[in-house]
Structure 1
């Protein structure tokens, strides 16, 4: 038999996790989540008993190599996109039993708006600076040479490029992020609804099984009206006196 414990033995497991309140932030996700998938890899051991090998995970925190959390969409992407890209973002919860700091939440909509605002400020500042330089040039020079003309054209082209190139790109990225956020929120709601429906269905099945078992075994028991108690011929007082006589060893004191 091989070793019961060996450094190469490991157990991988997936589990569902529900978080109350405002949910939890996940790396690579633009919303907070109340329902997640948790993956853990722990030290494993083998037990040979009754001609059968059984595999167990060691459950102490020090025996857990890594534990990560992901959204349902991240989990689906991870198992359906093998050998594609750099991989799928996950949130590391524990490493070798050590708890990691919580993942910070970043509002992607707020971030995109701020980036668009910063770009608008940059374009405005450049245009203001170039306008001032061109105005000074026109005021101080009655005749513009080729270098002056090239400077003015360059300033105008630079402002136009930032407006025509950067603005549409930022707007496109913002639209893609909004679509991704909506998809994540929709998936989160669908997962919550599915879990709730499964819970209700399991409760209904358990109740139906309980009713079916009750009806089945109630048929095996005789009805109350069919149970006949044989009547007694002696009056109640006489029966009580005889019981007292028996309680005294069958001897009458009278």
Structure 2
């Protein structure tokens, strides 16, 4: 068995690390962190880190070593689920970039709180109503002009009828569109929140279950049992 170690490096070598992070604390920090593409603040997130790598050969085995960090990004549990279940579909899953190097900017400033979707939809409804109101004002002004002139021909009435119909149709369709978009966004937010809650509950139950199991084994064996120790459990 050779103990001589050889090290190989190449720009294409890399390592990726996926981890879960809890964001607790007091005050504002206890609300979690904002993430791009999400209306929620998150207390549990998934982090992906890509690093340069090298490989050494010793003791008849390959040993991979971490090198310089190249990229770090963070996503919610719902975004993680969307990413791994949508191969080749859509335009991609939103993620929050935190670090880029190798000719990149390095550490990236934290992502700010997203704007209120309710306020955004309110502003869009107001803009839509204002635009359609302008059309109705134009029709109203044309009616006033014809009344002032004391005569209205068939062509004038046809034009009024057409413009009034366009204004009514635009008002109905734009309002319906904005309401439907708001409904879809709220349903998406609710679904995302459910995934976050389910992930938190699953993680908490698993942690409590492991703790309870260790306590039971300690009581039975009368000695400490460390996580990762091998043991057999008899049922019945």
Q: Give the TM-score normalised by structure 2.
A: 0.82
Larger Rg: 1
**Structure 2 alignment gaps of length 5 or more:** 25-29, 225-236
What secondary structure sits across from 1:89 in the alignment?
A: coil
Shift of 1:215: 6.6
Cα distance in 2 for partners of 1:125, 1:22 equals: 43
Cα distance in 2 for partners of 1:50, 1:67 equals: 32
* Equivalent position of 1:157 in the other structure: 165
Residue 36 of structure 2 is aligned to residue 27 of structure 1: yes
Query: 2:126 pairs with 113, 117, 120, which one?
Result: 117
Cα distance in 1 for partners of 2:213, 2:204 equals: 14
* Equivalent position of 2:195 in the other structure: 187
Query: 1:89 pairs with 91, 94, 103, which one?
Result: 94
Choose between structure 1 and 2: higher strand proportion: 2
What secondary structure sits across from 1:4 in the alignment?
A: strand
**Structure 1 alignment gaps of length 5 or more:** 217-254
CA gap 1:136/1:2 in 2 versus in 1, 3 angstroms: farther
Cα distance in 1 for partners of 2:185, 2:223 equals: 57
Choose between structure 1 and 2: higher helix proportion: 1
Give the count of matched residue pairs.
211
Cα distance in 2 for partners of 1:39, 1:195 equals: 19
* Equivalent position of 2:53 in the other structure: 44
Q: Give the TM-score normalised by structure 1.
A: 0.76
Residue 80 of structure 2 is aligned to residue 72 of structure 1: no
Equivalent residues of 1:26, 1:32 under 8 A apart: yes
Shift of 1:7: 1.2
What secondary structure sits across from 2:88 in the alignment?
A: coil
Shift of 1:209: 2.6
